[in-house]
Amino acid sequence: MDHHELVQQYIAVWNETDAECHLALVKAVLTGDATYADPRMTAQGQQGISDMIGVVQTHLPGLRFSLAERPVEAHHGYLRFSWLMGPVGGASVSGGTDIIELRGGLLGRVIGFVDFPTPVD
């Protein structure tokens, strides 16, 4: 799987609301010992990250993530990409940039930066 596809699958993780499907997607793209950190949240392991995303979905119902038009960049085992969040068919209400450390072709460490927060922040 190329880097763009891997990031697209990671974005799909954030949009999947069915708990079983969600965890299966997490396991397909994140290592067992993966970590996630952004200015407001941290999580460790596949289950922890899955649970954290579920909480985000509960607090921001109806909002979906998408990959920004900027290309996924890769070098020395790291990826960088930008994302947007908003209602389907509507304007983005938030966006950010993530830096990811790759481990064995999967996402191992995710560091998220929020470039512009949601209005409810």
pLDDT surpassing 90 at residue 121: no
The pLDDT of 94-120, averaged and rounded, is: 91
What is the model's pLDDT at position 116?
87
Handedness of CA 116, 3, 71, 86 (dihedral sign): negative
Give 68-84 pLDDT, tens digit per residue.
998 999 999 999 999 99
Q: Which amino acid is at 119?
A: P
Q: Quote the tokens at residue 53.
A: 């995303």
| Domain boundaries of the chain, sorted by first residue | 3-116
pLDDT-based confidence at 119, cuts 50/70/90? low
| pLDDT value of residue 1 | 74
Report yes or no: 27 and 8 within 8 Å, Cβ to Cβ.
no
Whole-number percent of the chain with pLDDT over 70: 97
Mean local confidence (pLDDT), 33-58: 96
Distance, in Å, from the CA atom of 91 to the CA atom of 21, rounded to the nearest integer, reads 27
For the chain, give the mean pLDDT. 94
CATH topology assigned to domain 3-116: Nuclear Transport Factor 2; Chain: A, (3.10.450)
**How confident is residue 120, by pLDDT bands cut at 50, 70 and 90?**
low
The CB-side HSE value for 43 (13 A sphere, CA atoms) comes to 22
- Residue 118 pLDDT > 90, yes or no? no
